[in-house]
Amino acid sequence: MGVKLTKDSIDLGIVVSDGPKALAFYRDTLGFEHVADTSMAGGGTMHRLMCGTSLIKVISGSNPAAEAAPGGIAGAFGYRYWTISVSNIAEVIEACAKGGYKVAVGVREIRPGVTIAIVEDPDGNWVEFLQAS
């Protein structure tokens, strides 16, 4: 059967411990377009940001029951990182490093013509950047 997509991208929800710090990373450093803020029924705010055609929902003030395990890919089962394809990986990683964000994996070629780097957001979530030549 399979899914019948109505959009060529995904929406991703990220629950964060500090809304202003998360917005400084996703909106200000990475340049995602802020489109709206929405109050959530159970408390908190959803900050809606666009990354291309993907909607990134940064949720703050929701008081989750537990924190995610740190350590990126090897830290635990479950969703551990997400990938953004870019054409300016060195510039993005430099801006993140200058902003004080931890570069978990520096810029490196993982196979001919494909370069990656991984940065931690303020909560330690991994964001991978991929550049293909």
Residues 41 and 94 in one domain: no
Q: Tell me, what CATH number does 52's domain have?
A: 3.10.180.10
Q: How far is CA 2 from the centre of its chain?
A: 27
Spell out the per-residue pLDDT of the chain, length 133, in tens.
899 999 999 999 999 999 999 999 999 999 999 999 999 988 899 999 999 999 999 999 988 888 888 888 899 998 899 999 999 999 999 999 999 999 999 999 999 999 999 999 999 999 999 999 9
Residues 60 and 95 in one domain: no
Main-chain dihedrals φ then ψ at residue 87, nearest 5 degrees? -110, 0
Residues 95 and 133 in one domain: yes
- What pLDDT is recorded for position 67? 84
| Three-state SS at 9 | coil
In terms of Cβ atoms closer than 10 Å to its own Cβ (0-12, 13-18, 19+), residue 64 is: exposed
- Boundaries of domain holding 97: 72-133
Residues 16 and 47 in one domain: yes
Answer whether residue 77 is part of any domain.
yes
